[in-house]
Structures are given as C-alpha cells and as structure tokens.
C-alpha cells in the first residue's frame, strides 16, 4: 500500500498546526496518526474522489521501516462528495484499510470484500479542508479477524501533510 502526499507549503515542511488531526481508537487502543493527508479530485469545483490517510508513527522512521497505516477513500465518479453521511453499505466505491507491517510482509484489514459497515460523516469539505468522524469494522483479508474502529475523527487542510 502506497500513500502519496503533496504539500502546499512553499518550503516543503510538514504542517504541525495543533488544530489539525486524524485519530481513532482501534480495538480499544487510541491512536493519533502522522504524515496525514487529505486529497481530493473532481471537476467543476466538485469532489468525486477523496482520500484521507496517515501513519501510526512519523515516516520515514529512523529504522527505515514503514509504520502501520490507516486510510479511507470515497469515490463518486461524476458525482459530488459534500457534507453528509457515507457508508460502505450504500457507497459501492468506498473502502477503508488498515495495513500492519510485519517482518513477513503487510497484513491488510479492509472493508472489501466483506460486507462489514464503515461509516464516515463529513461535517464540512472544501478546497480549504475537511472535517468529520468515522467508525466501523475492518477485516483481515486472509483470516477474517475483525478490528473495530471507533471514535475516529479528522480535521485536515487540503493537500497539506500534517504531523500532530
């Protein structure tokens, strides 16, 4: 799994503004994510695709390893993603993933191909940023073991890398 992130900061530095965050509780463990990014695309000032992604630790790490990561995407090809509620049960092109890095490779938990519910509530969205909450269940692609995601929240600027 690869995350790309663009920074609109002229000097390329990460934004450490404490007003911005991406956090959640996974199986009872509260986490704040780093190297977080909100990206979107679409025509005519509409968002037809958004992605929010972040790592459990700063990346790259001193050891050169990739930290575990959490992300979600919403696609509405030709549509418009606005403030509102989005769920994997009604959005066929919505997906969330949690990638756990091990010495034997990456273990992926996902909303696809399972029918577990993952929801995102977007409170506000614009070219200035996005704010909202999320929760749901992610399932290991091989074993079927589930992870509960609760108390998820985000407040991010558009296309700026954030390190809370």
DSSP 93-134: T-EEEEEEEETTEEEEEESSSS---EEEEEEEEETTEEEEEE
Predicted confidence at residue 1, as pLDDT, reads 39
Fill in the DSSP letter of residue 64. -
Q: What is the pLDDT of residue 45?
A: 80
Residue 13 predicted with pLDDT over 50: no
**Which pLDDT tens digit goes with each residue over 93-142?**
999 999 999 888 999 999 987 788 999 999 999 999 999 999 999 999 89
- Which pLDDT tens digit goes with each residue over 30-89? 999 999 999 999 887 889 999 999 999 988 777 778 899 999 999 998 889 999 999 999
How many Cβ atoms are within 10 Å of 70's Cβ, its own excluded? Answer: 26
What backbone phi and psi angles, to 5 degrees, belong to 86?
-130, 140
Q: What is the DSSP letter of 67?
A: P
Give Cα 80 distance to the centre of its chain.
19
* CA–CA distance, 15 with 30 (Å, rounded to integer): 22
3-state secondary structure 4-29: CCCCCCCCCCCECCCCCEEEEEECCE
**What's the confidence (pLDDT) of residue 12?**
37
Q: How confident is the model at residue 7 (pLDDT cuts 50, 70, 90)?
A: very low
Q: Band of the pLDDT at 149, cuts 50, 70, 90?
A: very high
Bigger pLDDT: 15 vs 45: 45
Q: What phi and psi, each to the nearest 5 degrees, are found at residue 133?
A: -135, 165
Q: What sign has the CA pseudo-torsion 135, 141, 143, 144?
A: positive
- Which token pair is 161? 């890398």
Please tell me the pTM assigned to this model.
Answer: 0.85
The encoded tokens of residue 104 equal: 């034997």
């Amino acid at each position: 799994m690869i995350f790309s992130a663009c920074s609109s900061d002229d000097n390329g530095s990460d934004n450490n503004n404490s007003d911005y965050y991406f956090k959640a509780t996974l199986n009872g463990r509260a986490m704040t994510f780093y190297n977080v990014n909100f990206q979107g695309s679409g025509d005519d000032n509409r968002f037809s695709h958004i992605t929010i992604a972040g790592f459990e630790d700063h990346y790259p790490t001193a050891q050169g390893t990739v930290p575990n990561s959490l992300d979600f995407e919403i696609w509405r090809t030709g549509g418009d993603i606005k403030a509102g509620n989005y769920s994997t049960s009604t959005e066929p092109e919505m997906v969330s993933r949690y990638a756990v890095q091990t010495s034997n490779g990456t273990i992926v938990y996902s909303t696809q191909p399972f029918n577990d519910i993952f929801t995102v509530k977007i409170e506000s969205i614009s070219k200035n940023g996005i704010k909202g909450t999320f929760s749901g269940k992610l399932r290991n692609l091989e074993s079927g073991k589930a992870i509960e995601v609760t108390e998820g929240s985000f407040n991010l600027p558009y296309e700026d890398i954030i390190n809370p």
